[in-house]
Structure 1
Amino acid sequence: MGESDSVLIADDENEVSSARAMRVAAALARKGGEEFVKPGRLVEVRFVRGQSLSLTASRLLALMILTAGGDAWRDVSHRMRKSDIRRGHKGNERIVDMLEELHRTLFAEDDKSWRGKRATKRFSLIQASWEEVEEEGKETGWIEWQFTPDARRLIQESQTYAVMNRQAVLGFRSAYSLKLYEEGALRLHRRQPIWKVDMVGLRAALGIDPEKYADFAQLRRKVLQVAKAEIDQLAHFTVEWNEIRRGRAVIELIFRFAPKDAPAQIETVDELARHASGRKARREDSVEDLAIAGPTVAPELIGRLVADATSKLSAPDRVPREKFAAFPLGSLRYGGEEFYKVGVEHGGGWDVDGIAEAYRKEMGTRLGSLKGVKLERSWRGFCESYFSRRGRP
């Protein structure tokens, strides 16, 4: 990257330097992969009373933010292929419904009136959209859209952000699960894993209609327990909550989001790569295991083979090596710079080589079978878990 690029392209774009969320979004977009940023102000904006987004519209909004990347704050149009939205559906009818739902859904934030009095501001996130008209039965095409000035302002003001996974977003089957996932991802990245919220705030944040699930037992069963099951299976963290009561009524909830340890991170990566059709059965452990008869290999031999392969992969490099190809045996400062960078960013200030030693001990022989995205996410999850358990050094 040249010097002119480091100055963020042009003088009239210098204001983006104050928006950390957009800098990270641009970096993730350049990197590629499944992760993307949702600005914190957009995560925390609440629905207007009685309104919410359906699961499909919520997914579309997430895809729009992913596609816009580091340019989401700019007063420009963004474009996406319809095929990236359909996900296997043959027709485009649902895309029209989702776009129209995004146009008419209102959000709210606290503001001041022209007299300086407390006021509630209501606004939408999508200003205009274009959908290519199909001709002669063809199902190809693009959509184009612009975010509203209010949406761009929220994006530009966001110094915090949630790092989300595209496969996880598209894998949720409940809109409430997706919203709680966003809240958890935001707070974990802030290193503030606690979310304390009253019932009015919870309904506004998740988009739960005031007349729906009036009995908290129903809300717990239909919303919270469903969301927890999906998040624990698909996210890079887990969620628990405590219920604060006044008499018999629940008046407040305290959510705690905890990063998964390394083995659980690997299971999540594997699950996201599987087909969604059997996901609920796997979550409920109702999938039957097939016993395959045949010769077995002694665990000791497997351990020696894996250790031997690991030592070869981790030998000092003499040619350019692939990043995250194998976890180094020695210090991460030399020959494992990408691992060291992850440890510094997510380890909370603890000695990175100390975290690495604890990681090797926990993973054992399993470490030799990991590489690429799985290894990167497993290592990052362990660093976050290490810091979460110990706090600041």
Structure 2
Amino acid sequence: MDESAGIEQQQSEEAAATPRSMRVAAALSRKGSDEFVKPGRLVEVRFVKGQSLSLTASRLLALMILTAGGDAWRDIPHRMRKADIRRGHKGNERIVDMLEELHRTLFAEDDKSWRGKRATKRFNLIQASWEEVEDGDKETGWIEWQFTPDARRLIQESETYAVMNRQAVLGFRSAYALKLYEEGALRLHRRQPVWKVDIVGLRAALGIDPDKYGDFAQLRRKVLKIAKTEIDQLAHFTVEWEEIRRGRAVVEIIFRFSPKGAPSQIATVDELARHSAGRKARREHAVETVIAIGREEDLADPAEVTHLLSAATTSLTVSEERARDKAAAPWARFPRGRLHFGTTEQAARAIGLRHGGGWDVDLIADAYREAMGDRLDSLSGVKLEKSWKGFCEAFFARRGRPS
């Protein structure tokens, strides 16, 4: 009895010591979804001047964080199959380049020196890595790595986190877009969807080389506009920005991140499920429409919601719908009554509590049913889950916290 009590106490103490971000990461890992957590301190750490990560290395770092899950803060090795990194490429030579890039890239944070003076601390995120050497031409094997003590400290100190989508991360074609996506996901989770940053801070956060895009018009065209089009297409939110000038020079940027409404969330789920070939053409053809239907204030008319939702979903094939429904079996249809009993009811209630900003979940559910109308009966699976989550986020973003 005493031994059992001691074990329970030890488990309780370990759970209390586990960072909040890691508890959420473990829960998402058990769920087996495409969503994963990146701790806030890792999102906000800045690159050393003149250094940045390439798109492929940034993706690998994201996959490492996803794979480590709730154990990322522990001083243990983590493992991943090479096949999960290659994404269709036959050779493993690119993995070596990505690992070496992660090893040599330096990050920086403000700190204090041994004398108590302001100082800049520079460090790596990857301490050591191992790559299995294949026999012959076999393209198999694993990689193993450990995060540095500084990386684990940042993870452990993170009270907030960004919830990101694996398919979205792998879908970005711009490293700057991926970094801005991380910043937006973090701030939306904090319920502080505004990021005000000066130009020097923006360059450090996104890893823009000091010698590139010296003219702001170039930075706007080559970085911000490209990042916006990709985020608006692949993320669960959209981004806008305002330029603050001193004289003729732009000195600060104010980014505003807005969660997408229900129909736009469904269109995003559809896009992430499609092959990346043709994605740029689809984006250039429909990006303005995606932005327009993503604003919740434009969705007051239920008839308009039904029309937009129908347009966003008619392109789905029966096989795509069945595959997604199988991946989210509990979401056969949205509950008709209160969100208390039953598997789907409890799942819907959990999303409402997490993303509804403290509003009564049943109140949000009634508003969702009214907005979606008859079309709600034909929604199921991942599309229904994402649509409900997006509506909860938009409901909170429009109304703020209940008084």
User: What is aligned with 1:72?
Assistant: 72
Q: CA–CA distance in 1 between the matches of 2:6 and 2:223?
A: 49
Query: Is 2:43 the counterpart of 1:29?
Result: no
In the TM superposition, residue 323 of structure 1 has moved relative to its aligned partner by 2.1
The 1:8/1:327 distance shift into structure 2, 3 A limit, reads farther
The answer to whether 1:330 aligns with 2:337 is yes
Q: Quote the offset at 1:270 in angstroms.
A: 0.4
Matched with 2:196 is 196
Tell me what 1:291 maps to: none
The percentage of aligned residue pairs carrying the same residue is: 78
Gap change, CA 1:36 and 1:286, over 3 Å in 2: closer
The answer on 1:365 being equivalent to 2:366 is: no
Shift of 1:369: 2.0
Query: Partner of 1:16 in structure 2?
Result: 17
| CA 117–3 in structure 1, closer or farther in 2 if over 3 Å, else same | same
How far apart, CA to CA, are the structure 2 residues paired with 1:5 and 1:162?
33
Correspondence for 2:40: 40
Aligned pairs for 1:199-278 within 5 A: 199-278=199-278
Greater Rg by CA: 1
> What does the per-residue CA deviation read over 1:174-207, in whole Å, with 9 as the maximum and x for residues that have no partner?
0000000000000000000000000000000000
> CA shift at 1:8, angstroms?
7.7
Q: CA RMSD in A?
A: 2.1
- One-letter identity of the residue aligned with 2:17: V
Please name the residue that 1:306 is paired with: none
Distance 1:23 1:357, change over 3 A: same
Distance in 2 of aligned mates of 1:3 and 1:152: 30
Equivalent pair of 1:240/1:257 in contact (CA under 8 Å): yes
- Check conservation: 1:16, 1:23, Cα contact below 8 A: no
Give TM-score scaled by structure 2 length: 0.86
Q: Give yes or no for contact 1:16–1:22 (8 Å, CA) kept in 2.
A: no
1:14, CA displacement in angstroms? 5.0
Between the aligned partners of 1:6 and 1:32, the Cα distance in structure 2 is 27
Displacement of 1:93 in angstroms is 0.5
Query: Tell me, which stretches of 5 or more residues in structure 2 are unaligned?
Result: 288-305, 311-327
C-alpha distance 88-368 of structure 1, shift in aligned 2 (>3 A): same
Cα distance change on mapping 1:173 and 1:328 into 2, 3 Å? same
Offset of 1:370 from its aligned partner? Answer: 1.6
In 2, Cα distance between the equivalents of 1:6 and 1:377?
37
More displaced 10-residue stretch of structure 1: 119-128 or 323-332: 323-332
Deviation per CA, 1:38-97: give whole Å up to 9, x if none: 000000000000000000000000000000000001111000000000000000000000
**TM-superposed deviation, 1:334:** 3.7
Please state if 1:387 is matched with 2:387: no
C-alpha separation between the residues in 2 aligned to 1:90 and 1:7? 49
Q: After superposition, where does 1:259-298 map in structure 2 within 5 Å?
A: 259-285=259-285
Unaligned stretches of 5+ residues in structure 1: 288-298, 304-320
**Secondary structure at the residue paired with 1:285?**
helix
SS in 1 for 2:375: helix
- Mapped to 2, the partners of 1:110 and 1:32 lie a distance apart of 36
CA distance in 1, matches of 2:99, 2:6: 37
CA contact (8 A) 1:16 1:156 kept: no
Q: Which shows bigger deviation, 97-106 or 363-372?
A: 363-372
Partner of 2:108: 108
Looking at structure 2, the residues matched to 155 and 255 of structure 1 have their Cα atoms a distance apart, in angstroms, of 25
Q: Which amino acid aligns with 2:217?
A: A
**Cα distance change, pair 117–30 in 1 and its aligned pair in 2 (3 A):** same
Q: Which deviates the most, 332-341 or 270-279?
A: 332-341
Give the Cα separation in 1 of the matches to 2:9 and 2:361.
31
Deviation at 1:344, TM superposition (A): 1.6
- The 1:6–1:167 alpha-carbon spacing in structure 2 relative to 1, beyond 3 Å, is farther
Amino acid at match of 1:248: R
> CA separation in 1, counterparts of 2:119 and 2:392?
43
AA in 2 matched with 1:233: Q
Cα 1:230–1:7 shift into 2, 3 Å? farther
2:285 match: secondary structure:
coil
CA distance in 2, matches of 1:379, 1:3: 41
1:375 match = 384
Is the partner of 1:277 in helix, strand or coil?
A: coil
Q: How far apart in 2 are the matches of 1:5 and 1:67? A: 28
Flag the 1:252–1:4 CA change in 2: closer, same or farther, 3 A. Answer: farther
Greater Cα shift, 78-87 or 333-342: 333-342
2:212, 2:235 → 1: CA distance?
A: 26
Change (3 A) 1:8 1:338: farther
Letter in 2 for 1:327: F
Aligned position for 2:354: 345
Instruction: Compute the displacement of 1:4 (Å).
Output: 9.4
Partner of 2:121: 121
1:14–1:274 Cα change, 3 Å: closer
CA shift, 1:362, in A, is 1.7
